[in-house]
Chain A
């Protein structure tokens, strides 16, 4: 057994897919992922399309075998001890597939409860409690086909919770939801954190990650390139400090890149100029210059998660590598 306080632990986890074509090279979806998620932690996986997030979730869910490396959940190996692992995870994959449209909401949930070994009054009570918690009790006898997407996603969450698992794996749970539904969903996730559950969550929504995650891992090209708490993630790129200013005369703007330590100068929304600098002394130099030019609408800020993401991943621009 590994450390009891660790819910998810992967070591050099690697997964490649054959291309299916003869002579075609392998696609590496994961290349040596080391991830450690503590019990009770809400951990976000962020990364561009094709980074390997879903592949990681699938391996942890026991529905995909790693090519090499190991993964343990609550100390149990996902390959050798898959049966035990299945009982301690709940999985929710985004999108509106994965439910039986012709069955009622209640029957869907009871079906999955039966698959996880619940029966009799225990099964009925658990399903009823979950439907109430997810705000679906009033729709229990309606066919799933008649639910909105947000409701379906809440039913998915109820399904994921049916066996009362200590670990939940949510792969893009809010994809396709309107902002209000997504917000409601986050509140539910917060409640699950309060239960003491560990949650592994993939998302493309930076605000969502910032709002619900204790820590996030940035994933790119099958590797984890950084793991930090969202609040402190700016430290990853702290040499890039940011200044935004409004009403900067063009000739001043043109001169800014010449100040030592200025990394980029570019136009931002609202006729603003965004200047990024390597260090605090460069920031000071830029501020002095702007104030000298009578530019008074100036603000400095720490990079947000979104900006860190864009710096570390998005800076590659639109290069298509695979």
Chain B
């Protein structure tokens, strides 16, 4: 079992070299901190202030937790766009001809986003949060950090699934993650509690990792029992794994269809 996992891990690691090379080409530490991070913190602040005006100051804590965690979701969803870069690079046919499956390559290929997103969310939660009434007990900090990592990872897996769908529809590569993020913001408990919406929406939101992990994070800050927090976190993790499996199936079927139709190396 370990040996069977060792090879994929190895592929993911080498593929991630590509991810971080892209990251270095796009950002320096300075532009990441003052450009990206600054922009995301401003966005969180904007939603919190807007909510305070519209709904009242008692909602600030709710909003800052939701929007702070949302930043890693937004960034992790960038995998949808960056997976299509593989088409631009013209490497898809070569990947299809290689013995290692495409899933492991793509899993490593855009890892810069969940990593950077985790950083953004941590800063937003721990530095911005206290300004809007969030108090962190020292023993909660590692758990909150773990929840952020799980959210970024689970969303990344969900994004990989979307990426597999979008790979053959390149024009949608920026629309899909944008719309997905907006829907998540609205329906997964970021800006308003899920209970605000009809119950069927809540059931759909349950297949999104963010829903469970954000719930766990809120429970943590409200001093819920650790059993409850872990149960919701485990559920979030499970949903993330579900999307990884779905992404795997989607990539495999994409290549299979490409082989049949002759579209492995171009956007049909």
Query: Are A63 and B93 neighbours in the complex by a CB distance under 8 Å?
Result: yes
For residue A89, CB closer than 8 A to chain B, the reply is: yes
Q: Please tell me if the beta carbons of A102 and B25 are within 8 angstroms of each other in the complex.
A: yes
Chain A residue contacts of B259, Cβ below 8 A: 62-65
Contacts of B206 in A (CB 8 A): none
Residues of B within 8 A of A (CB): 7, 10-11, 13-15, 17-18, 21-22, 24-25, 89-91, 93-100, 105, 258-262, 264-265, 268
What are 14 A-B interface contacts by the 8 Å CB criterion? A61-B97, A62-B97, A89-B97, A99-B89, A100-B18, A102-B22, A102-B25, A103-B18, A104-B21, A110-B14, A114-B15, A114-B100, A115-B14, A117-B99
Q: Would B93 and A58 count as touching, CB distance under 8 A?
A: yes
Would you give the 0/1 interface string for A57-76, flagging 1 where the beta carbon is closer than 8 Å to chain B? 01001111100000000000
Interface residues of A in 92-109 (CB under 8 A from B): 93, 95, 97-104, 107
Q: Chain B at the A interface: mostly helix, strand, loop or mixed?
A: helix
Which listed residue (A18, A86, A91, A159) contacts B261, Cβ 8 A? A18
Say yes or no: A87 contacts B93, CB within 8 Å. Answer: no
Instruction: Tell whether, in the assembled complex, residue B99 and residue A103 are in contact, meaning their CB atoms are under 8 Å apart.
Output: no
A95 to B7, CA, bound (A): 30
Q: Is A83 an interface residue (CB 8 A)?
A: yes
Q: Contact mask A226-244 → B, CB, 8 Å, 1/0? A: 0000000000000000000
> A102-136 toward B: CB 8 Å interface, digit per residue (1/0)?
11100100111111110100000000000000000
Q: Which residue of A lies closest to B25 (CB)?
A: A102
Give the docked Cα–Cα distance between A83 and B21 (Å).
30
B94 near A91 with CB under 8 A, answer yes
A63 to B264, CA, bound (A): 7
The reply to whether A65 and B260 contact each other, CB–CB distance below 8 Å, is yes
How many Å lie between the Cα of A65 and that of B268 in the bound state?
Answer: 17
Supply 20 further A-B pairs (C-beta < 8 A) apart from A93-B94, A100-B89, A112-B94: A17-B261, A62-B96, A62-B259, A63-B259, A63-B264, A64-B262, A65-B260, A83-B99, A98-B94, A100-B18, A100-B21, A101-B89, A111-B17, A111-B18, A114-B11, A115-B95, A115-B100, A115-B105, A116-B99, A116-B100
Q: Which of A86, A97, A111, A119 has the most CB atoms of chain B within a 10 A radius of its CB?
A: A111
* Structural contact, A98 and B99, CB atoms closer than 8 A: no
Chain A: number of interface residues, binned into ranges: 35 or more
Task: State in angstroms the CA–CA spacing of A101 and B264 once bound together.
Answer: 21
Task: Collect the chain B residues with CB atoms within 8 Å of residue A83's CB.
Answer: 99
Cβ–Cβ < 8 Å partners of B11 in chain A: 114-115
A residues in contact with B90, CB < 8 Å:
95, 97-98
Q: Is the CB of B15 within 8 A of A111?
A: yes
Is A179's beta carbon under 8 Å from chain B? no
Does A86 lie within 8 Å of B97, measured CB to CB? Answer: yes
**A20 on interface, CB distance cutoff 8 Å:** yes
Q: Are B93 and A103 in contact (CB under 8 A)?
A: no
Give Cα distance in the complex from A83 to B99, angstroms: 6
* Candidates A91, A104, A107, A114; contact of B97 at CB < 8 Å: A91
Chain A residue, CB-CB nearest to B14 = A114
In the complex with contacts A102-B22, A111-B14, A63-B100 CB distance below 8 A? no
- Give the docked Cα–Cα distance between A98 and B11 (Å): 18
Indicate if the CB atoms of A98 and B260 lie closer than 8 Å.
Answer: no
CA distance in complex: A70, B17 (Å) = 39
Q: Which of A89, A114, A117 has the most CB of B within 10 A?
A: A114
Nearest CB of A to B30, in Å: 19
Question: For chain A residues 17-38, which have a beta carbon within 8 Å of chain B?
Answer: 17-18, 20
B100 touching A117, Cβ below 8 Å: yes
Partner of A117, one of B7, B21, B261: B7
Instruction: Find chain A residues with CB under 8 A from B7 CB.
Output: 117
Complex CA gap A65/B99 in Å reads: 17
A57 nearest CB across to chain B (Å)? 10
Q: How far is the CA of A107 from the CA of B7 in the complex (A)?
A: 17
User: For A98, what are the chain B residues with a Cβ–Cβ distance below 8 Å?
Assistant: 89-91, 93-94
Measured CB to CB, the nearest residue on chain B to A120 is: B10
Q: Tell me the complex Cα distance, A58–B18, Å.
A: 26
Which of A55, A65, A115 sits near B98, CB closer than 8 Å? A115
B264's closest neighbor in chain A, by CB? A63
User: Closest approach, in angstroms, between the C-beta of A224 and any C-beta of chain B?
Assistant: 20
